[in-house]
Amino acid sequence: MSDVLLPGVTATRVPTPRLTQSVLHPDGVEPAGPGEAVLFVHGNVSSALFWQQPLLALAGAGGPRPLAVDLRGYGDTDPLPVDARRGVRDWADDVAALVDTLGLQRVHLVGWSMGAAVVLQHLLDAPARVASVVLVAPVSPYGFGGTAGPEGRRLAADGAGSGGGAANPEFVAALTAGDTTADAPTSPRSILRAFYVAPDSLPLGPQLEDVFVAAMLSTRTGEDHYPGDATTSDTWPGVAPGERGVLNTMAPTVLDLSGIVDSPAKPPVLWIRGDADTIVSDASAFDLALLGSVGAVPGWPGAEVAPPQPMVTQTRAVLDRYAAAGGAYREVVLPGVGHSPHVERPREFVVALLEHLAVPAAPPSNTPETPGPGTR
Each residue's pLDDT tens digit, 234-284: 999 999 999 999 999 999 999 999 999 999 999 999 999 999 999 999 999
Q: What's the pLDDT band for 371 if we cut at 50, 70, 90?
A: very low
Closest alpha carbon to 375 in 277, 269, 272, 267: 272
Residue 192 is classified by DSSP as I
Q: Is residue 211 part of a domain?
A: no
Which pLDDT value is given to residue 63? 81
Residue 260 sits at φ, ψ, to 5 deg, of -60, -25
Q: What would the mean pLDDT of 154-179 be, rounded to a whole number?
A: 98
Q: What would the mean pLDDT of 318-331 be, rounded to a whole number?
A: 98
Q: Is residue 191 part of a domain?
A: no
The H-or-E segment that residue 94 falls in is helix 89-102
Q: Is residue 305 part of a domain?
A: yes
Which pLDDT value is given to residue 370? 29
Evaluate whether 70 touches 11 at the Cβ level (below 8 Å): no
Q: Is residue 74 part of a domain?
A: yes
% of the chain exceeding 90 in pLDDT: 90
The H-or-E segment that residue 111 falls in is strand 106-112
Q: Is residue 14 part of a domain?
A: yes
Which pLDDT value is given to residue 290? 98
Q: What is the mean pLDDT of the chain?
A: 93
Q: C-alpha angle with apex 54: 52 to 58, nearest 5 degrees?
A: 120
Q: Is residue 15 part of a domain?
A: yes
Residue 12 sits at φ, ψ, to 5 deg, of -130, 130
- Residue 73 pLDDT exceeds 60: yes
- Residue 95 pLDDT exceeds 60: yes
- Least confident window among 5-19, 229-243, 354-368: 354-368
- Least confident window among 40-49, 53-62, 160-169: 53-62
181-236: pLDDT as tens digits: 999 999 999 999 999 999 877 766 668 899 999 999 999 999 999 999 999 999 99
- Residue 55 pLDDT exceeds 90: yes
Between residues 24 and 363, the one the model is more confident about: 24
Residue type, 59: A
The rounded distance, in Å, linking the Cα atoms of 354 and 352 is: 6
9 - beta bridge partners? 26
Q: What's the pLDDT band for 366 if we cut at 50, 70, 90?
A: very low
Q: What's the pLDDT band for 125 if we cut at 50, 70, 90?
A: very high
By 3-state DSSP, what share of the chain in percent is helix, strand and coil, each rounded to 5?
A: 30, 20, 50
- Residue 60 pLDDT exceeds 90: no
Angle, nearest 10°, between helix axes 114-125 and 89-102? 70
Residue type, 286: F
Q: Is residue 246 part of a domain?
A: no
Evaluate whether 341 touches 43 at the Cβ level (below 8 Å): no
Q: What would the mean pLDDT of 50-77 be, rounded to a whole number?
A: 95
* Domains: count for the chain: 1
Domain of 282, in residue numbers:
9-156+252-357
Q: What's the pLDDT band for 361 if we cut at 50, 70, 90?
A: very low
Which pLDDT value is given to residue 1? 66
Residue 367, exposed/middle/buried by CB under 10 A (0-12, 13-18, 19+)?
middle
Which pLDDT value is given to residue 148? 98
Tell me the CATH number at 70: 3.40.50.1820
Q: Is residue 289 part of a domain?
A: yes
| Stated pTM of the model | 0.94
Q: What's the pLDDT band for 362 if we cut at 50, 70, 90?
A: very low
Q: What would the mean pLDDT of 86-98 be, rounded to a whole number?
A: 98
Which pLDDT value is given to residue 363? 40
Q: What would the mean pLDDT of 159-172 be, rounded to a whole number?
A: 97
Question: Which residues have CB under 8 Å from 90's CB, separation 6+?
Answer: 72, 80, 82, 83, 249
